[in-house]
């Protein structure tokens, strides 16, 4: 697989998007910091979107009471987007676009579900934080506060968050984050394939065989109906990309791991754009929709791609 070279990225420290880390210690500290952020925004006639867990929403609603500025404050159920971090950037883009069209300055609060995420999901959540700086480098000005509970998340998660946020909120003060690194994202290695049920070398004319192999493997683990159909559409798009852009062929492996059915595609191509699949295609765009569809149809999409090693795309669908 391949994609056009990505455009140069402006320095996130001077971009209009302010991406700020808020490490906090327990619920009381969360409430204090989040309410300070919200109060400042509402006092400045800004609009605020809060994307946090239901229990945190309840805490904030109680603290806000009957504030007269509630019409400029919105809460979003992040669970409605599913557990796939690949769907989050377009959701924020939609809200930013609506708020800007209404003529309102914008702030957001977003806390990822680190406590319930699988290891693979945590890796994609960290990558999402890094991608935000690229996705909104040229956006209208807005400010996103990202709370991290230091009593609940692993030190490695906090280290990664520190490298991805140009700013931080500490001890009641907003400022530059000295641990921010404006460099390439360092991926964790993908977990090893677990006794693949099927291995298929595919090329031009083999997309039907790809679907048959996946259907056979999925059937062993009870994956059927619309969930299987969604996976087949996504898999067809990824395999077609291998044929078109990945050297004309690829390798499919399928297996089940716990409650997850996995399809992995390997080819010789190189995806240069780190945001491939994470941005909604333009209405009249020709091509470039395969990875986008995969993100919408699968529960998790993991991509590893280098010029030296080629591309791996791993599609995960939860069995329950």
- The CATH number that applies at residue 262 is 3.30.565.10
Q: Burial, 158: exposed, middle or buried (Cβ in 10 Å; 0-12, 13-18, 19+)?
A: middle
In a shared domain, residues 150 and 205? no
CATH number at residue 163: 3.40.50.300
User: By the 8 A CB rule, do 161 and 304 touch?
Assistant: no
- pLDDT tens column, 107-151: 999 999 888 899 999 999 999 999 999 999 988 889 999 999 999
- List all residues 6 or more positions away from 268 whose beta carbon is below 8 Å from its beta carbon: 246, 247, 310, 311
* Band of pLDDT at residue 11, cut at 50, 70 and 90: very low
- Classify strands 249-257 and 198-203 as parallel, antiparallel or unpaired: antiparallel
User: Does some domain include residue 187?
Assistant: no
Which of 121, 143, 176 is a domain's end point? Answer: 176
- 31: in domain: yes
How far is residue 268's CA from residue 205's CA, in Å, rounded to a whole number? Answer: 18
Within a domain: 258: yes
- In this structure, are 131 and 219 located in the same domain? no
Same domain, 122 and 153: yes
In the structure, what pLDDT confidence band is assigned to residue 16 with cuts at 50, 70 and 90? confident
- Count of structural domains, the chain: 2
Same domain, 25 and 153: yes
Which tens digits make up the pLDDT trace of 43-66?
888 999 999 988 999 999 999 886
**pTM for this structure?**
0.90
Domain range for residue 116?
17-176
Q: Evaluate whether residue 275 is within a structural domain.
A: yes
For residue 183, is it within any domain?
Answer: no
């Amino acid at each position: 697989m391949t994609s056009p070279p990505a455009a140069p990225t402006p320095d996130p420290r001077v971009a209009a998007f302010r991406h700020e880390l808020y490490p906090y210690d327990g619920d009381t500290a969360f409430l204090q910091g989040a309410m300070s952020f919200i109060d400042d925004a509402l006092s400045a006639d800004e609009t605020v979107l809060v994307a946090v867990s239901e229990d945190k929403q309840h805490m904030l609603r109680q603290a806000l009471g009957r504030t007269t500025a509630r019409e400029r404050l919105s809460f979003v159920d992040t669970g409605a987007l599913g557990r796939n971090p690949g769907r989050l950037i377009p959701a924020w883009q939609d809200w930013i676009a609506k708020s800007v069209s209404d003529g309102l300055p914008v702030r957001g609060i977003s806390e990822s579900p680190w406590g319930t995420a699988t290891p693979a999901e945590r890796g994609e959540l960290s990558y999402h934080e890094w991608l935000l700086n690229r996705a909104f480098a040229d956006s209208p000005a807005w400010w996103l506060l990202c709370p991290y509970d230091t009593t609940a998340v692993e030190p490695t998660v906090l280290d990664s968050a520190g490298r991805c946020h140009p700013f931080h909120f500490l001890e009641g003060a907003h400022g530059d984050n000295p641990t921010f690194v404006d460099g390439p994202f360092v991926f964790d290695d993908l977990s090893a394939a677990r006794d693949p049920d099927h291995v298929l070398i595919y090329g031009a004319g083999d997309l039907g065989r790809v679907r048959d192999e996946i259907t056979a493997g999925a059937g062993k683990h009870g994956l059927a109906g619309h969930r299987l159909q969604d996976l087949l559409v996504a898999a067809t798009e990824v395999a077609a990309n291998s044929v078109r852009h990945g050297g004309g062929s690829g390798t499919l492996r399928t297996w089940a791991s716990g409650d997850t059915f996995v399809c992995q595609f390997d080819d010789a191509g190189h995806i240069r754009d780190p945001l491939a699949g994470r941005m909604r295609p333009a209405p009249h765009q020709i091509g470039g929709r395969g990875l986008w569809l995969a993100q919408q149809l699968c529960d998790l999409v993991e991509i590893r791609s280098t010029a030296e090693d080629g591309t791996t795309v791993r599609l995960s669908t939860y069995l329950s």
